[in-house]
Structure 1
Amino acid sequence: MSPTAAIAEPARTLPESTGLKEFMERVEADPLPLAARYQLVAAARVLLEELYVHLPLKRAMHATDPVQRLRLLERRLQPLSEPQFHAELTDVFRDLRDLHTGYQLPDPYRGHVATLGFLVEGYADPDGTPHHIVSKIDSSLVHAGLDVGAELLAFNGVPVERAIERNAAAQAGSNADARLARGLESLTLRPLRTGPPPDEHQVLLAYRTPGGRRRETRVPWRVRAVEQRAGRVQDPVPTLATGLGIDVGSEVRRQVKRALFAPPRARRSAARAPRGAVSHRTLRIRGRSYGYLRVFSFNVAGARSFAEHVARIVEDAPAGGLVVDVRGNPGGHVPAAESALQVLSARPVAPVSFSLPTTRAALALARSNPAFRVWTRSIQDAVETGEVYSQAFPLTDPEAITAGLPRYTGPKVLITDALSYSAADIFAAGFQDNALGPVLGTARRTGAGGANVWTHELLRVWLPELLGQLPRGAGFRVALRRATRARGNVDVPLEDLGVQADELHRLTRRDVTGRNRDLLAAAAALLG
């Protein structure tokens, strides 16, 4: 402990939560049988060898061979404890650097998240000096200056910048900015469905209070259920939806943040309702009025209802300009994202296109599912052409979905960050490719998720002879159809590349503590 720091009283307990120690004791009391572990490894091999569309890209770009790693894991299962097994299988998928494709831990991990009860955001001084500030905290945990505006100095005795870097190395982001952003976000909030729990039961924090005093305190990890219906824990993302492009872990974090920190009025809307995914207001900057549309997620129930909601908002937006903000958006329903894009354009937008791997399993899927028939011929021809991807076709017709809806024709600017992922990547790509306006990024690139993701459960519906049922509610998600861009960027993949910002804005203290004042001023300047 620093000689200048004062020991604060221990943090209070987060309401409606369980201690991590108690939760793990429950897990360890009923371990996963060895036969179930073999079953999970075998299922993972089938998915990656036969249906994972990015396998050639990942082998080349990240020098990883997940199939061989699964073969080795299968031979070495016997001595592994249950936590070691989950960590090993998770690591195989993490090294793909693909947040679409992953192992989902079984009950009781499903539907739970470990949290410290507060959020941290970072900014840098003009000279580049980094700072990490508590931006949100549950009111029950406020004590001894640990409140909004407190600056973290160390995390378990490690300088906070280094702790974030170490945490980032364990994340599956496609690029350095994405991994670092996820390293910061998961410092205090970790979905247990998509990765092992924290090693420590509590965290020693060193911080500087808003008043300038140095203090230290211990904050326990607590476990909360994400969503419950009829007393049962639910997955926050549909498991049988065909049009998804989403980072499930980030959607879990979004819903937990919403439950803990959103104003009571915002919490009243269902998480997947348009009102729960979008907010809006009017900005007044340098004497001019602009609309501000914040899209937190595209994880909504339907494309048409979402497009109607967005259309009603932008119909009343000031004509002088519209700021569209998709920072932290983990993606969701691809048709909803592309339909919202169409509402922002006076002319028809060119959507992204999708292609399948040219494997036997992909061909069987294309033959059995009528919605996939358009890809059948090119997969068959791959035997002669040697192509690793099928032809690319659009997933949706945004113009048809939005028929009759008003359009916003004024100037627009899009704000992105390294956590804008999947359907949000697709939205940003469409915004840029269709020349709707400049893209202002708080990072150089978006999160770089370029695929339509399917669950093992959904694939079993169409490929029952290839895929069996998984034990204890465990699951997998896999990038099945890869996304490629349109117009001037035709055939350029989104995976691992993302969307490069036209202009870069590094967050300031006023952004973190003052409702993004400098960021929104920069966006307004681009509209001007």
Structure 2
Amino acid sequence: MAQARKTVASRTGKTLPRKAKSASAKKATEAKKAEQAAAVPLSQFLESAGTLTLNQRKVLVDQALLLLEQNYVHLPLKAAMHAVNPLQRLRVLRARMERQTADSMEDEWLFHRQMSAIFHSVRDLHTNYLLPVPFAGKIAFLPFMIEKCHDAGADQYLITQIVTGYSAPQFGLGVEVTHWNGTPIARAVALNGAAFAGSNEAANLARGLESLTLRPLVIQSPPDEDWVTLTYQGLDGTVQELREQWKVTTNLPPMTDLDAITEVSASMGLDLDADEKARAKKVLYVRDVVELEGGESSAALDAPVAVGAADLPTTMPGVFRARQVSTSSGTFGHLRIFTFSVTNPIAFRDEFVRLTGLLPEEGLIVDVRDNGGGHIYASEFTLQTMTPRHISPEPVQFISTPLNLRICRRHKDNPAGIDLSPWLESLELATETGAAYSAAKPITPADGANAIGQTYYGPVVLITDARCYSATDIFAAGFADHQIGTILGVDDNTGAGGANVWTHGLLATLLNEPPPPDQTSPYEALPNGANLRVSIRRTLRVGDLSGTPVEDLGVKPDVLHRMTRDDLLSGNVDLLNAAGALLAAKPQRRLDVSTSLSGTTLTVELDVDGMDRVDLYLDDRPISSEDLAGDPLTIEIIDVSPGQLLRADGYSAAELVASRRISV
């Protein structure tokens, strides 16, 4: 058995960051750029819409009823919290359709509006009616973006992005919008937010503001108006008014096929509305990233590329932005995560590790504002890199229904596809016990969530807002539950989307794969490329809030910061100063471990700051526990074989504060 002996040693240097990948970056094709740049007036686009027959509409209503009644995990919660009954609304709509004919049925836009309103009523951004062609893949937009700040004791709504080449009298970045179609802007935002309801008031207002100028037509009904009238205080201080028409263009494609039976599609926690808007913002405002990604979403490049002059090069420019920032409290790392929507969660984690290794060790600002989520593995695999604690992935539950039980039975112990065996036994027992939900089991593998352990050792602040949703909510909840650092919010809450989401297409495929297909499957093919999404498994918190659902509750920040005018127009300067102040107040710690193996003797050199004890483990077996007096130590461990894993756990006042792993 390995043993340890110690001597005093000299101070050693820090580990260098690993090298970045190399090769050439992808280039967008001219054809794809031309397609994405093309835009037509909304009125012209709508002339081509409207091909659903009455029978096709009936299929959509029937399948919506099926999903909400048999698959939708949040239905009891939503009915209780928001006093809604989407099933009855669908039944009423279906009954009225029986009295219609092809000649008397309402216009197709009205049918889509009714379906969207029913799905929006549950205030769940995972549970959606997805419009058919020609709406799918299209975005309606105005050539500017508005954001809210709090300045001089009042809320202000400022223009913060403008499409290249667009101009209007006395119009530019920083002008204040006062009215929208004659309605005071704050009231217009609230009314719009009620139509596209989020899970809480902060989410309502955030989405109401965003949807004033940008609407993914696959998930939001087209605007009622062909144009909007905007009243604003011009650059010269005069009151100005402009009339701008809505236009429609093609969005970037989604990251993956969510209807296919894959680990990626089964592990999605994604606010599609936010994801569509994030891709649309790249099309409208960040063309250099679109070109780097070759017109694909969240593409990984062969070699790191810096988008901005101050940015660190990254292989995922549509996913990460990393840089050093100077604040009033010091220089720290700032890592923006735009999305978790990737196909390879390990590559995502590794790029996060590489970038943080290039940033200052004095503190890290992880910024997930506007992040609508994506691959749940990617979010939970990343948490381990910032904490010495063992990560417990959030568990999830199915609602107990005959159809969910049927799906889990078909996919019991299915290594080639989606393995649902962890939830099967509890769903079978629920038939006898009357339990409303299955057992709570994690989607993310616990070994993957703890595969590499801590890699960043400075203090961490997480910045959130009300547009954080789904896998990002799960990331924020895990950050809080494992006490990784301080959460600094620019809104009162995150978006509060706590679920794994599946499409109608995926559910239908689950009863047809593996062969032979289930001839009694209740799922029918949807017409014209329409689709439905539903929260299939709800997520629960761990730690002190163990068992609390994330849906509708979200994650509250430890500290609140209201965005200022300087934040919107000068690179988040006040927000980053607030984050820097939080980091500067945290203790600085360092755990340097170097090793050398000679024969079967492993020499370990320890050099630490901010710790009074280090425990050593070899392949998880305890080897040595050393009280430190501030001087470096050398420890020799005998009977060691190459390939064994050394772990050093650092403590301060009996609290685990750092951990490092080294393969011998």
Q: Same fold (TM over 0.5)?
A: yes
CA offsets, 1:108-155, max 9 Å, x none?
10000100021100112242x211000000122122122211111111
Residue 209 (structure 1) aligned with residue 240 (structure 2): no
Which 5+ residue runs of structure 2 have no aligned equivalent? 1-35, 300-315, 413-418, 513-520, 585-664
What's the offset of the Cα at 1:397? 2.4
User: How do 1:113-262 and structure 2 match up within 5 A?
Assistant: 113-127=139-153, 129-227=154-252, 234-235=253-254, 238-239=257-258, 240=260, 241-262=265-286
| Distance verdict in 2 for CA 1:68–1:496, change over 3 Å | same
Going by fraction, where is helix more abundant, 1 or 2?
Answer: 1
* In 2: Cα distance, 1:384 partner to 1:292 partner: 52
3-state SS of paired residue (2:188): helix
TM-score (ref. length: structure 1): 0.93
3-state SS of paired residue (2:165): helix
| Distance verdict in 2 for CA 1:331–1:83, change over 3 Å | same
3-state SS of paired residue (1:114): strand
Kept in 2, the 8 Å contact 1:412–1:527? The answer is yes
1:3 alignment counterpart: none
2:547 alignment counterpart: 491
* In 2: Cα distance, 1:305 partner to 1:204 partner: 46
* In 1: Cα distance, 2:558 partner to 2:271 partner: 24
Matched to 2:163, the amino acid is D
Residue 506 (structure 1) aligned with residue 532 (structure 2): no
What's the offset of the Cα at 1:80? 2.2
Kept in 2, the 8 Å contact 1:167–1:184? The answer is yes
What's the offset of the Cα at 1:278? 1.0
2:633 alignment counterpart: none
What's the offset of the Cα at 1:262? 1.8
1:4 alignment counterpart: none
User: How do 1:426-441 and structure 2 match up within 5 A?
Assistant: 426-441=474-489
Going by fraction, where is strand more abundant, 1 or 2?
Answer: 2
Kept in 2, the 8 Å contact 1:245–1:452? The answer is yes
Q: Please, which of 48, 65, 68 is the counterpart of residue 88 of structure 2?
A: 68
1:26 alignment counterpart: 48
| Distance verdict in 2 for CA 1:425–1:56, change over 3 Å | same
1:444 alignment counterpart: 492
Q: Sequence identity, in percent?
A: 41
1:526 alignment counterpart: 582
1:289 alignment counterpart: 331
Q: Which runs of 4+ in 1 moved over 6 A?
A: none
1:84 alignment counterpart: 110
* In 2: Cα distance, 1:398 partner to 1:149 partner: 47
* In 2: Cα distance, 1:159 partner to 1:98 partner: 27
| Distance verdict in 2 for CA 1:156–1:237, change over 3 Å | farther
2:391 alignment counterpart: 349
CA offsets, 1:192-246, max 9 Å, x none?
000210011111111112221221111110001102xxxxxx4455323110001
CA offsets, 1:172-199, max 9 Å, x none?
2000110000000000001100021001
* In 2: Cα distance, 1:483 partner to 1:379 partner: 17
1:231 alignment counterpart: none
3-state SS of paired residue (1:414): strand
* In 2: Cα distance, 1:375 partner to 1:423 partner: 21
1:230 alignment counterpart: none
3-state SS of paired residue (1:76): helix
Kept in 1, the 8 Å contact 2:233–2:240? The answer is yes
Kept in 1, the 8 Å contact 2:499–2:539? The answer is yes
* In 1: Cα distance, 2:335 partner to 2:234 partner: 33
* In 2: Cα distance, 1:497 partner to 1:400 partner: 27
Kept in 2, the 8 Å contact 1:267–1:276? The answer is no
TM-score (ref. length: structure 2): 0.74
* In 1: Cα distance, 2:367 partner to 2:135 partner: 32
1:39 alignment counterpart: 59
Matched to 1:223, the amino acid is V
Query: How many residue pairs are counted as aligned between the two chains?
Result: 506
Matched to 1:436, the amino acid is I
Kept in 1, the 8 Å contact 2:380–2:449? The answer is no
1:471 alignment counterpart: 527
Which 5+ residue runs of structure 1 have no aligned equivalent? 1-13, 228-233
Kept in 1, the 8 Å contact 2:282–2:289? The answer is no
1:272 alignment counterpart: 298
| Distance verdict in 2 for CA 1:182–1:104, change over 3 Å | same
3-state SS of paired residue (2:436): coil
* In 1: Cα distance, 2:148 partner to 2:552 partner: 24
Instruction: Give the RMSD, CA atoms, in angstroms.
Output: 1.6
Kept in 1, the 8 Å contact 2:135–2:218? The answer is yes
| Distance verdict in 2 for CA 1:383–1:96, change over 3 Å | same
1:461 alignment counterpart: 509
1:59 alignment counterpart: 79
* In 1: Cα distance, 2:180 partner to 2:73 partner: 38
Greater CA drift, 286-295 or 186-195: 286-295
Matched to 2:248, the amino acid is V
| Distance verdict in 2 for CA 1:403–1:412, change over 3 Å | same
Kept in 1, the 8 Å contact 2:393–2:449? The answer is no
